[in-house]
Amino acid sequence: MPERIHAIMPAAGQGQRLGADLPKQYLPLVDAPMIVHSVRALLAAQWVDELVVVVAPGDAGRAGTLLAGWPRVRVRAIGGASRRDSVLAGIESLDAPDDDWVLVHDAARPGLPLAALDALRDVAIDDPVGGLLALPVADTIKREDGASPARSAGTVDRARLWLAQTPQMFRLGMLRDALHACPDATDEAAAMEAAGHRPRLVAGHRDNFKVTSAGDLAAMAAVLRARGGNRRAGEQ
């Protein structure tokens, strides 16, 4: 049986930095809640066999209503206290062999272009480890002195520095084992690195930024409007 590609979307966070009444993944964005746009972006790739959206235990009804009837989508209210916990719970909910692929994408990155998603798949699927979307650092990086107010204490060499994005794509068994062994991992690549692997870096896209502030929300709305809303692939 050919290897399948499963997608996990951790969506159990509260998005407290945004200061909104709702968790940020449910905030309205152009024509739909943010999580709907992120799901649309993944389902635009017909090669994604299934998508498991991992939400907080109390959000099953809200997320289930938004995504009811969507082919290839399952909502699981098994989210944990951290991103790592939610991703691991999603992986362990899959009925799939260790050699299958898992693609993990943030619910707060609705601007993912299909071309970037395809590029990641094309590179990662032939790699023994897998890979992630990322962007080379273009700005000068400063290190603060730890005082208040903060002051610049030095300049960090930006050569060979990249900004990690999602999706991140790895073999199911390798990623599950790496996440079990690295409870403090802030993303899947960090867990894989801690396990001794070296994931491929695949050029991402500037529109694929993570929404963390009100300014980000406005900027993402502009991105989606420029595209005509977003792809509606996968909806009934």
Q: What is the pLDDT of residue 138?
A: 95
Kindly report whether the global pTM for this prediction surpasses the value 0.75.
yes
Could you report the per-residue pLDDT of 183-207, keeping only the tens digit for each?
999 999 999 999 999 999 999 999 9
Cβ 34 vs Cβ 24: under 8 Å: yes
Angle between helices 83-92 and 172-181 (to 10 degrees): 140
- CATH number of 5-226, picked from 3.90.550.10, 3.20.20.70, 2.40.280.10, 3.40.190.10: 3.90.550.10
Q: What percent of the chain has pLDDT over 70?
A: 93
Q: What is the pLDDT of residue 22?
A: 84
- Bridge partners, 155 (sequence order): 142
Q: What is the pLDDT of residue 87?
A: 98
Cβ 62 vs Cβ 23: under 8 Å: no
Q: What is the pLDDT of residue 234?
A: 41
Which residues are CB-neighbours of 232 under 8 A, at least 6 positions away? 40
Q: What is the pLDDT of residue 60?
A: 87
Q: What is the pLDDT of residue 179?
A: 98
- The residue ranges of every structural domain in the chain are 5-226
Segments of the chain scoring below 50 in pLDDT: 229-236
Q: What is the pLDDT of residue 17?
A: 61
Nearest to 212 by CA among 13, 15, 54: 15
Could you report the per-residue pLDDT of 13-25, keeping only the tens digit for each?
875 666 667 889 9
Q: What is the pLDDT of residue 16?
A: 60
Structural tokens at position 44: 């635009």
Q: Is 192 helix (H, G, I), strand (E, B) or coil?
A: helix
Find how far residue 232's CA is from the centre of its chain.
Answer: 19
Q: What is the pLDDT of residue 15?
A: 59
